[in-house]
Amino acid sequence: MRLIKRKKVIFLLSGGGSNLYKILKKNLTSKKFITLSIISNIQVSKQIKDLIKLNKLEIKIYEKISNLKTGFIGNCDVVFSVGYLKKIESEIIDNYNIINLHPSLLPKYKGLMTHKRMLINNEIKYGYTIHKVTKYLDDGQILSQNQKNISTSSENELGINHKRLEHQEVFKDLVSFLN
């Protein structure tokens, strides 16, 4: 019998963490990878903390980290930036396998305000990209993309639809990348 070594993942976070919550919840039953830690430049949501505590998960949480250093990362296979809005230093990029979830179909709409720019430019598709992190903003190798048709002219509604797509599909894309 061949043992499958599960990859060790660290998550970077800046926002509310709805994607990370869905990823952690789906991994509870599938156990596709090991989450070592969550590093955030803000406070990690109560929802994520409660999930970790309730399920007795051994995940370190680093909150309000304004300057990401290699000491927080340690020994992992992948660092996954899930809505991390801070610049990652070259020293970290050069020494770790870092991937990022970006809220557009790269190479279009690098940076922020992606939904607004999609609507202004009358795009017909929205989606997300998971890509390798390089020293250049949203410029690394594209690992996966998922898209749907835009069916609204409301930026708020597009944002809601986008989150729904990410919540449904990002976990599968992450697991596919790890295997």
> What's the rounded mean pLDDT across residues 117-142?
96
Residue spans per domain, the chain: 7-178
The mean pLDDT of the chain is 94
Q: Which residue has the tokens 């109560």?
A: 46
Mean pLDDT of the region 74-103: 94
Residue, of 42 and 2, whose pLDDT is higher: 42
**Residue 70 identity (one-letter amino acid):** T
pLDDT, tens digit, for every residue of 18-49? 999 999 999 999 999 999 999 999 999 999 99
Q: How far apart are CA 21 and CA 160, in angstroms?
A: 16
Question: At 58, which amino acid appears?
Answer: E
Cα diameter, the chain: 55
User: Residue 4 pLDDT > 80, yes or no?
Assistant: no
Give pTM, 2 decimals: 0.94
| pLDDT for res 2 | 56
Q: What is the pLDDT of residues 112-129, one digit of tens each?
A: 999 999 999 999 999 999
**CATH architecture label of 7-178:** 3-Layer(aba) Sandwich (3.40)
> pLDDT band at 3, cuts 50/70/90?
low
Query: Is it the case that residue 1 has pLDDT exceeding 60?
Result: no
Lowest mean pLDDT among 68-72, 122-126, 146-150: 68-72
Q: What percentage of the chain reaches a pLDDT higher than 90?
A: 90
From the list 110, 146, 116, the residue with the least C-alpha distance to 130 is: 146
Indicate whether 163 pLDDT > 80.
Answer: yes
pLDDT at 146: 97
Report the alpha-carbon distance of residue 49 to residue 51 in Å, rounded: 5
Residue 59 has pLDDT above 80, yes or no: yes
